[in-house]
Amino acid sequence: MARTNNPRGLHVKVKKKRGLKASSRRWIERQLNDPYVRQAKADGYRSRAAYKLIEMDDRYKLLKPGQRVVDLGAAPGGWCQVSVERVGSENDDIRVVGIDFLEVDPVSGAEILLMDFLDDEAPDRLMEALGGSPDIVLSDMAAPTIGHRQTDHLRTMHLCEVAADFAVRTLKPGGHFLCKTFQGGTERDLLELLKRNFKAVHHVKPPASRDGSVELYILAKDFKGRRESEAVDAMEDTEAGPLG
């Protein structure tokens, strides 16, 4: 992050209050002392998560003027804001479309669908709203946690797999896919799918991810295109020979 409004060494503490749980007090303190949270307010972003995309885009040069972008799990809208700025999407030429089952306040230059991405109609609705194949599919989706680490991980990995399948079915050749996951072992099938369909696959943890956070991002760059991918699959099947 280029700048911070937090004077060096300043730490805000929240006093103990009757009825305020210790966990809630710690969360409030963390928010008050997080320079990314304060900078998001100063810069007009919906959340600190905007800086995760900014940092990853600054490093890998993903978003370019004129591109079309799909944002899966768009709430509260920070990634849509960054995407609009960087691709130059405008209200009369929408190039950024988001989707979330949570209501999102309007983002100028973006269209945000209020529906669950897992709904059968969601992919077609996204493509219709975008008006063409996306150059980039972003996914910051995460399943609501239930406190059981393995179950939470599996539920989020399912969202990653569905997002990756959508990316492979819709992206333009040369396009990119960026998806949030969690440390603890990326599923082998997902990595194999991405390596088969993209020229490069990276694991990325941007500086804006909080210390101690287990979140991690998978970046798949340079989609090979459906014809080339299908040819590779067919060749692999032929080399494997008949089962039996």
Residues 180 and 218 in one domain: yes
Does residue 242 sit within a domain?
Answer: no
- Predicted confidence at residue 228, as pLDDT, reads 52
Does residue 56 sit within a domain?
Answer: yes
Enzyme catalytic residues: 180
- Predicted confidence at residue 71, as pLDDT, reads 98
- Predicted confidence at residue 61, as pLDDT, reads 97
- Predicted confidence at residue 189, as pLDDT, reads 87
The four Cα atoms 197, 198, 200, 202 give a dihedral, to 10 degrees, of -80
- Predicted confidence at residue 214, as pLDDT, reads 78
- Predicted confidence at residue 143, as pLDDT, reads 78
- Predicted confidence at residue 100, as pLDDT, reads 97
210, exposed or middle or buried, with CB in 10 Å at 0-12, 13-18, 19+?
A: exposed
Does residue 126 sit within a domain?
Answer: yes
CATH of the domain at 154: 3.40.50.150
The reply to whether 79 sits in an annotated binding site is yes
Does residue 241 sit within a domain?
Answer: no
The reply to whether 34 sits in an annotated binding site is no
The reply to whether 100 sits in an annotated binding site is yes
Residue 134 structure tokens: 């996306």
User: 97 pairs with which residues across the strands?
Assistant: 70, 111
Does residue 2 sit within a domain?
Answer: no
Number of domains in the chain: 2
- Predicted confidence at residue 137, as pLDDT, reads 98
Q: In Å, what is the CA distance from 231 to each residue of 199, 227, 238?
A: 15, 6, 11
pLDDT along the chain (244 residues), means of 10: 43 50 48 71 91 97 98 97 98 97 97 97 98 97 74 82 97 97 76 96 90 85 79 44 39
Q: Which domain holds residue 117?
A: 47-233
Residues 54 and 40 in one domain: no
Indicate the DSSP class of residue 178: E
Residues 39 and 98 in one domain: no
- Predicted confidence at residue 2, as pLDDT, reads 44
Q: State how far the Cα of 140 lies from the Cα of 69, in Å rounded to an integer.
A: 13
Does residue 149 sit within a domain?
Answer: yes
Residues 38 and 87 in one domain: no
